[in-house]
Amino acid sequence: MKRAVLLLATLLAGAAHAAPIAITNATVMTGAGATLDHATIVVDGGRIRSVGSGAAPPGATIIDAGGKTVTPGLVVGMSDLGIDEIGGVREANDTEARKSPFSASLDVVPALNGRDGGIAVARAGGVTRAVVGPSASRDIFAGQGALIALRDGPDVLVRGRAFQFVELGENGAEAAGGSRTASFALFRNALDEAQRFAARKGRGGGGDDGAHENIYQRADTVALVAVVNGTQPLVVHVERASDILSVLALKADFPKLHLILFGAREGWTVADRIAAAHVPVITSAIDDLPDAFETLASTKSNVGRLVAAGVLVGIGTSGGESTNQPRNVTQFVGNLVAQGRMPGGVGVTRDQALSLITRNPAEIFGMTDTGTIAPGQRADLVMWDGDPFELTSAPVAVMIDGVSQPITSRQTQLRDRYLRLQHDTLPLAYRP
């Protein structure tokens, strides 16, 4: 078995990018609600040409999956990949700017590090694309996030300034002056300033008239113009049900807002209102403890109830100790499948679980050609040595845009280096 896996990885790595690749005899979980047995996936030019029961095209490099499961590459709906290599070391953590005079205009792109060790670890776990978001500190606005592809090498950026991130709820209240009344007043004022700036610029005023009256820096106001115009999504971190409803109510005054809720651990209690507003949610799959006053209604059935209500849900990592590893998203959604079997629990089906970490987050953030195995989609594929939702399973091959990727990391290198050392042998670094 081990030899077969190594041979498969070698074949993928050696497959010529210019020639079509046909992965045959695969169990294909498409990410769009279907599972195909003994299927063939044809990849050409970085895209999926076909998937189904057809034969491999002439001249294609054929890879026999041997019945193994192939899924779309995993898409993590929120993470700090590439901007936080060591959370406890200030110099290696670019998630927040505690002393900066800027807020909404901050952009994670210049800080992205494609060599971040966490990217290799996540890729080895099957993650091929991720949403990278900043964290708020001194202000409710954290700045602008990015979309990345976890391809090998320094160039991981897919799209910069992909969304704006704002912190409301308890943390936002603290940053704004100690109360939710302050955070929502500051939030509305910032959006008003952006609208006035855009209107003055549209009248030929250059956007400068009256700028001295603004609370925010000019650069921050300029950055928020795309938010009030609806051309840049606004990710709003809220947990409490009342905060969620207050955010949804903003659409009455700012109808063009493209809202995405992040967190929403009490979302299940107002799931019908979220669904009616057509606002998607990025949340955690396993945060179910009332660890704050704003999360008293937390339950592991949150995602299942949101999905059942018709809300478009994707899974992200929240930064908490239990959920800050993007590679663990398959485990998280596996828990959601099991939740449906618990007395009184509401979970998701296996197909829905896969969509939570592939198609849905891709759709929420506008990556419409990613997240499913279908003709025309990007060839982001993961082949597994077992059930993707089982802890004992792992990827044996990862492909991004039709190019095979390494599934090694600093962790695996250290494991292999020291695994078979004799007790009387010094570590390699200490050899004379």
Q: Which helix (H) or strand (E) holds 170?
A: helix 169-176
pLDDT > 60? residue 25:
yes
Q: Which residue has the higher pLDDT, 365 or 417?
A: 365
Indicate the DSSP class of residue 253.
T
Cβ proximity of 355 and 336 under 8 Å = no
Provide the 3-class DSSP secondary structure of residue 63. Answer: strand
pLDDT score at 15: 47
pLDDT score at 423: 65
Q: Which two tokens stand for residue 420?
A: 């078979």
Closest of 101, 80, 83, 103 to residue 93, by C-alpha: 83
pLDDT score at 323: 53
Same structural domain, 265 and 318: yes
Split at pLDDT 50, 70, 90, the class of 80 is very high
Please state which of the ranges 22-31, 206-215, 400-409, 418-427 shows the lowest mean pLDDT: 206-215
Same structural domain, 290 and 394: no
**What CATH number does residue 202 fall under?**
3.20.20.140
Share of the chain above pLDDT 90, in %: 78
Same structural domain, 41 and 125: no
Does residue 114 lie in a domain region?
A: yes
Split at pLDDT 50, 70, 90, the class of 230 is very high
Provide the 3-class DSSP secondary structure of residue 192. Answer: helix
Instruction: Compute the distance between CA of residue 160 and CA of residue 257 in angstroms, rounded to an integer.
Output: 19
* Residues 325-366: tens digit of each pLDDT: 899 999 999 999 999 999 999 999 999 999 999 999 999 999
* Residues 40-76: tens digit of each pLDDT: 999 999 999 999 987 889 999 999 999 999 999 999 9
Domain membership of residue 240 as a residue range: 74-364
Instruction: Compute the distance between CA of residue 127 and CA of residue 177 in angstroms, rounded to an integer.
Output: 38
pLDDT > 80? residue 138:
yes
Query: What per-residue string of b and e applies to 345-372 under the rule 16 or more CB within 10 Å gives b?
Result: ebbbebbbbbbbbbbbbbbbbebeebbb
Same structural domain, 265 and 387: no
Instruction: Compute the distance between CA of residue 419 and CA of residue 163 in angstroms, rounded to an integer.
Output: 43
Tally of CB atoms within 10 A around 428 = 9
Same structural domain, 88 and 7: no
Q: Which helix (H) or strand (E) holds 43?
A: strand 35-44
Q: Which helix (H) or strand (E) holds 143?
A: strand 141-149
pLDDT > 90? residue 424:
no
Same structural domain, 360 and 286: yes
Does residue 432 lie in a domain region?
A: no
**What CATH number does residue 19 fall under?**
2.30.40.10
Same structural domain, 246 and 317: yes
Same structural domain, 177 and 59: no
Cβ proximity of 22 and 9 under 8 Å = no
pLDDT score at 2: 46
Same structural domain, 223 and 299: yes
Same structural domain, 279 and 334: yes
Split at pLDDT 50, 70, 90, the class of 3 is very low
Indicate the DSSP class of residue 55.
P
pLDDT score at 344: 94
pLDDT > 80? residue 320:
no
Share of the chain above pLDDT 70, in %: 89
Q: What is the mean pLDDT of residues 26-38?
A: 96
Does residue 54 lie in a domain region?
A: yes
pLDDT score at 286: 87
Same structural domain, 255 and 113: yes
pLDDT, mean over the chain: 91
pLDDT > 50? residue 32:
yes
Same structural domain, 68 and 78: no
Does residue 214 lie in a domain region?
A: yes
Closest of 248, 340, 276 to residue 303, by C-alpha: 340
Tally of CB atoms within 10 A around 402 = 19
Find which of 172-186, 206-220, 416-430 is predicted with most confidence, using mean pLDDT: 172-186
Q: What is the mean pLDDT of residues 7-24?
A: 66
pLDDT > 70? residue 209:
no
Split at pLDDT 50, 70, 90, the class of 16 is very low
Does residue 372 lie in a domain region?
A: no
